[in-house]
Amino acid sequence: MTEDITPALLLHAYAMGLFPMAETRDDPNIHWVEPRLRGILPLEKFHISRSLRRRLLGSDFTIRTNTDFAGVLDGCADRPETWISSRIRGLYLELNAQGHAHSLEVWDGDDLVGGTYGVALGSAFFGESMFSRCTDASKVALAYLTHRLLAGGFTLFDTQFLTPHLASLGAVEITQADYLRRLATALKKPASFDPPGYSATASGVSQCRTQTS
C-alpha cells in the first residue's frame, strides 16, 4: 500500500476496526490489519499480582504522560524486528501533536525505562505497543494506564492481539464481530485521557484486582 496515508485516514481506519503495520522498520508500505480474533483488556478485570503490587509500592518510578512520546515510540521499536517503520512513526507523532495519540511513561530518575502508547477515539483506547528496560516496567505502565482509562470513562481497551504477557494481566480474546459491536458502542461515548482533577498514586493503582503469584 503506497498511497498517502494521513492522520485523518488513520483515525478513520481505527473507527472501522483496522490498524496499521509494516513488515519491517524499512518497509515503505503500510498494511491494514483486521484480526479474526481480537485481544482486549477489560478495564475492570485488570489483574495485579502480588509481585507486581510489591513492585508498584516499592519502586521509585515516576509516571508521566505525553512528555516524551517520541522516546516511547523509539523504545517500542528498539528490537531486532519491528513493525514501526519511519512512516508509521511519523504518523503517530502527528496524531500525538493533534491530541489523538498518548504515551504513558515510566521514569527512573532521568531515565525512560518503560512505557506504552496508543490512540484514543470516543471511549475506545487502541493500545499499540509497550517496552521495558528494567524488570516489570511495562507492567507498571499498563497498571497506571488502566487506572487512568477507568478514571477517564473509557470502556474499551483494545490490545490488538492476545499474548501470554497480556493474558496474565487479564486480557482476553474475542471475535472480530464482537469487537466491532463493542467498538461501535465505545465510539459513541466521550472519554478523556486527562480527566479533570485526576491523579494516581502507587497505593491507589495497586488496589486493582489482585491475584496470587
Show the CA angle centred on residue 79, arms to residues 131 and 105, nearest 5°.
20
Q: For residue 74, give the DSSP letter.
A: H
Give the pairing of strands 210-211 and 172-175.
Answer: unpaired
Residue 209 has pLDDT above 90, yes or no: no
Distance from C-alpha of 150 to C-alpha of 145, rounded to nearest angstrom = 9
Q: Can you give the pLDDT at residue 161?
A: 95
pLDDT per position as a tens digit, 98-138? 999 999 999 999 999 999 999 999 999 999 999 999 999 99
| Domains of the chain, CATH where assigned | 34-80+102-211 (3.40.630.70)
CB 84 within 8 A of CB 77: yes
Model pLDDT for residues 150-204, shown as the tens digit of each residue: 999 999 999 999 999 999 999 999 999 999 999 999 999 999 999 999 999 999 9
Q: With a cut of 70, say whether residue 213 has pLDDT above it.
A: no
pLDDT at 210 > cutoff 60: no
Residue 205's pLDDT is 94
* Per-residue confidence band for 4, with pLDDT thresholds at 50, 70 and 90: confident
Name the residue among 41, 36, 115, 49 with its Cα closest to residue 78: 115
The average confidence (pLDDT) of the chain is: 93
pLDDT digits (tens, 9 = 90+) for 14-71: 999 999 999 999 999 999 999 999 999 999 999 998 999 999 999 999 999 999 999 9
Task: Give the model's confidence band at 3: pLDDT under 50 very low, under 70 low, under 90 confident, else very high.
Answer: low
Selection from 118, 93, 92 nearest residue 10 by Cα: 92
| 167 neighbors 46 (Cβ within 8 angstroms) | no
Residues 67-86, mean pLDDT to the nearest whole number = 95
